[in-house]
Structure 1
């Protein structure tokens, strides 16, 4: 049974694929034309942004959801047509079958209506399943897309807003998850059937069709007026949310200063004022939404009462049959459902726009490199800096006319106590920053003429403070790739650092990361970071005062490791310790005029 179900699923997927390839583009075009102007503008902005930037993956997100969109569209269309079977069957039963006592016809009609209701239920269940899967697929693709954009953004653009705000922007994706590919499509497919239902009411009852039409006009007017108020409240809430979130991020980033100055009470009072405004706005939005729901319920009751009252008079006068009155009552109720959905959709669009703006802010982040540039060729390790200059008014560590020629396998030392920041040179070699003047060459190739992501695997950067990801030592050594385990074990043994790891209670399975990093010796963590940087087989190592906080014993181990890997890699090392710098082939000091040779 399971095998048969599996084959049926595969066939269904193939059928859906054929339908989507044939009709998918037309369906998407129809849906786009039915969208409100605000939604059209957002989608057009997304498309222009994707074409104007190096971010063509956005189109892939939409294309990956085409099959689901087509399935939801056709299932909704078929379900709406099948929903006509029930009121029309009741019309026949009361007007023809009961007066004529036609039992055989009744049996056939009951079979037809039961079949149509079963098909309608099955289509709606299928629609719900496909819609949920498409929503999840869309969310996964968009999440990956936006996170990739954040990771590949320029460092100064990312740091300008901070990690907290970027996280808030990424969380905005959840609001879109069930909107564009589920709720929106269903509502837009259901809406045209209002006119079909009204046409049937007019055909059956004549002038009684004016009752649902007038009530629909009143409902549309009232909901539009209240919707504008909700829209204004939502904009105010967004502004207040931004102020509150910025204040939270600022307070948490400066928590040490807050505690040191005893400012907890002042910070709390300020937060309470920001939160009170947000709470009042939430209350007003809820009140407006509840009033709208009460209005919709009142209109639905008036629709039933007026149709029943005036329709009964029409039946008594002989202008309409009892079956026609029952059918019109059911059809009039069906008319209100799409309107209610569209009203809810229009209200939700106001909230969705806030989430879209946050997502567009991520897409607006400038990328640090053009992914369409060619990949960097295999690196040997030669480095050339030609007339490099950094001159920023806000930065005291500026320099000019820096020239450096490093051969593959050389070890170059830099004094770490210089007032000028050697770390900036390292960031230039990594391509994280661009020089205002001059050029950076690796193996005589200008690094900015290539895709920087293809260059980064050849360069290992060891910062002052070790950053470990949550996980085990082995997971950090292998970058969470099981294929690198043998390489990591061999590397740690050859460097003579496996003994330090194996002495730990859990060895390579020792947990490191946010909470456990302080429990391990800094020397051990730094040794692990060196081994981790070599697992990817880089050709260049940038050692940025990675031993500044180590004790003498750990420093000696680091020195021994550097001696072992010397001449096998191109090493640029910044340090304050002469014992480490002495093993370098050359030592430089960075000054305003450039690099000056230094001797110990």
Structure 2
């Protein structure tokens, strides 16, 4: 990544030099007109000189576009190289309950990409070659060069003073906006209690006070910035007037040519503009620079981890064995030494009171969550050594809270894979859902909102079940699959459990419904994260329900 950045910077600076040099097309056009055309009164020469100037300006535009396009392509390259890797890492950290650096890395990537796509990036390139341009002014006239530097220093000093005087006001204004916005959201969230107790006038008055304070800081910052902006603009013009006066004084003294005076003034004006933009965007540049270095370190760390060899997954049989699994979150133990042995084709029922750790154990059995101690074996090998992307297609998982995504019903069932509609229909058919989906106006192309909130809870549950069945996975992990289901849904779920048993699938079933436990071979009862009972289903049920 560092090598690519160096190459982009070298090419961009080279293009910037051409852009700046070609801006001299206009003064050269003026010089040629006054020096050659006016004395000779040659009208035909005007067209030639104008075409040359237009050609130079066109090439300047082309180089400027190429420079900006190069930076955009590098931003796209960074996004392509890092975006998917960082998002993949975010999935892993979320699944493992870790507070890693992936979220920060994604924010850093956004900062770098935003800076490269902004005009500020080209302003910094122009600023980088400003010393070269000032050397040209010095070559034309050392006195004009010194005057240009002094004027530039005064203008930049004024810009820096503006930033310093407004930074704290803007910071307070942004914080005030966030507080007022959070307070408004809090009021809306508790709107029923607010209306019931007649608290609207008092809360609106409080919100208005927060808004007024924010607006006051914002207005003061804007006024100061406006005054300083007017001053710096005037100083830019004053600089050119002073340079013009000194230049023509030197010309009258016979020390410099009038054409060179014009060139020196234009170059000095061309230098100050990107410098002012660079001062305004200095914080963005610093943030992007720091973010790039963090991204570089993060990428190097990811590459080291990618060198670790993952086991290549054969077709799993579905034998699951837990050996003293321990899992804690936030320092609180949730799973405490759980062990079981489930043969391929068997169904394990997980039962126990709420908060016993059933859902956490189910997540561990997907392979996406890694226990702190103990081993979960799949066909004799540590399940968490498998590449999750290889393992995932062999696992059907229905979480306790169904997690659907913005997209079509077909995309959600197919796990967002590019597959035939018939494969999607097959999964929906197994979930007893095909006719229901077909009855919708858009059928399988019905769009879901975020988390599928535009559908009833029972329908979301059944779509999640169809997704779990998609691809005929060898292992099914169903966490409270009967939640939110009507009788028709319960009947479909019963049929799924029967079919899975007949087809020899390994099933982990978390449920409180006794009727569904008849399809299990083993029962494991958790209490406070520990195994309270474990064994063949009939034996455990006899202990739990003696005499039944």
TM-score bin (small chain): 0.7 to 0.9
1:118 maps to what in 2?
Answer: 58
The SS at the match of 1:381 is coil
144, 152, 177: which one aligns with 1:216:
152
> Matches of residues 203-352 of structure 1 in structure 2 within 5 Å?
203-205=139-141, 207-233=143-169, 236=172, 272=208, 275-346=211-282, 348-349=284-285
- The answer to whether the 8 Å contact 1:391/1:436 transfers is yes
Q: Which of 75, 78, 81 is the equivalent residue of 2:21? A: 81
Q: Which residue of 1 aligns with 2:545?
A: none
1:400 aligns with: 336
Counterpart in the other structure of 2:484: 549
Count of aligned pairs: 529
Contact 1:234 1:350 in 2 (8 A): no
Could you tell me how far 1:556 is from its partner in structure 2? 2.4
Matched position secondary structure for 2:482: coil
1:599 alignment counterpart: 541
Superposition deviation, residue 534 in structure 1: 1.6
Deviation, structure 1 residue 594 = 1.6
Aligned match of 1:581: 517
Partners of 1:398 and 1:211 lie apart in 2 by: 73
Deviates more, 1:547-556 or 1:278-287: 278-287
Contact between 1:543 and 1:574, CA under 8 Å: does it hold in 2? yes
Per-residue CA shift, 1:439-474, capped at 9, x if unaligned? Answer: 221111122334444333322221334333334432
Displacement of 1:563 in angstroms is 0.5
Kept after mapping to 1: 8 A contact 2:524/2:531: no
Partner of 2:461: 526
Q: How far did residue 216 of structure 1 move?
A: 1.3
Q: CA deviation at 1:387?
A: 1.8
3-state SS in 1 of match to 2:281:
helix
CA shift at 1:579, angstroms? 0.8
Corresponding residue for residue 537 of structure 2 = none
Is 1:388 aligned to 2:342, yes or no?
Answer: no
Deviation readout 1:165-200 (Å, 9 max, x if unpaired): x7x996786654452366455334423554444444
Change (3 A) 1:561 1:212: same
What does residue 377 of structure 1 align with? 313
User: Partners in 1 of 2:31 and 2:246 — Cα distance?
Assistant: 18
Alpha-carbon spacing, 1:295–1:147, altered in 2? closer, same or farther (3 Å): farther
What are the ranges of 5 or more consecutive residues in structure 2 without an aligned counterpart? 535-539, 543-548
Residue 558 (structure 1) aligned with residue 498 (structure 2): no
**Aligned residue for 1:180?**
116
Q: Cα deviation per residue 1:97-117 (whole Å; 9 max; x = unaligned)?
A: 755778898876555444323
Q: Hey, what's the Cα distance between the residues in 1 that align with 2:526 and 2:226?
A: 67
Matches within 5 A, 1:62-81: 71-81=11-21
- Superposed displacement of residue 500, structure 1: 4.5
2:541 alignment partner, SS class: coil
Structure-to-structure mapping, 1:347-358, within 5 angstroms = 348-349=284-285, 356=291
> 2:546 corresponds to which residue?
none
Distance 1:478-1:516 versus aligned 2 partners, 3 A rule: closer
SS at match of 2:146: helix
Aligned residue for 1:404, secondary structure, equals: strand
Q: Which moved more, 1:148-157 or 1:420-429?
A: 148-157
Give the 5 Å matches for 1:395-434.
398=334, 400-417=336-353, 420-434=356-370
List per-residue Cα deviations over 1:325-350 (Å, max 9, x = no partner).
Answer: 33333333223223223323325446
SS at match of 1:409: coil
Q: Which one of 94, 111, 129 corresponds to residue 154 of structure 1?
A: 94
Give the 3 Å change call, closer, same or farther, for CA 202–96 of structure 1 in structure 2: farther
Post-superposition Cα deviations, 1:211-237, rounded to whole Å, max 9, x if no partner, equal: 322211211222233333344455555
Q: Secondary structure at the match of 1:579?
A: helix
CA separation of 1:74 and 1:154: change in aligned 2, threshold 3 A: same
Q: Tell me whether 1:462 sits opposite 2:398 in the alignment.
A: yes
* Aligned residue number for residue 60 of structure 1: none
Look up the match of 1:51: none
Structure 2 Cα separation of the partners of residues 265 and 125 of structure 1 = 55
